[in-house]
Amino acid sequence: MRVGRVIRVEDFPKAKNPSYKIWVDFGELGVKRTSAQLTKYSKDELMNSMVIAVVNFRPRQIADFMSEVLILGVDDESGSGVVIVRPERGVPLGHRVY
């Protein structure tokens, strides 16, 4: 798991469930792409936010998009959305999560 910053968010109408296409900067590891059902958040809320992601999964084809990482989140109290797991303050991009 590594820390990254969201640098680009687009709607993903071809996904089976409401989702975004998200690009995350992991510093020296580079920019990785993911498809995520984080539509509880607006694109503006996601932009420049810090996230924690699993970066060592095999890439997975989602419709016409290759998803390379998995942003971590948990169900909210109502079970109707996902809350992103993120650092409480700024940390260097690409650093490992212990």
For the ranges 37-46, 53-62, 68-77, 78-87, the lowest mean pLDDT is seen at 78-87
2 close to 53: Cβ distance less than 8 angstroms: yes
Is 97 among the domain residues? no
| Cβ within 8 Å of residue 89, ≥6 positions away | none
Residue range(s) defining the domain that contains residue 9:
2-84
Mean pLDDT (the chain, rounded): 94
Predicted local distance difference test score (pLDDT) of residue 4:
97
Q: What is the mean pLDDT of residues 39-63?
A: 95
Is the pLDDT score of 79 beyond 80?
no
CATH at residue 20: 2.40.50.140
Is 94 among the domain residues? no
Is 68 among the domain residues? yes
Q: What is the pTM of this model?
A: 0.93
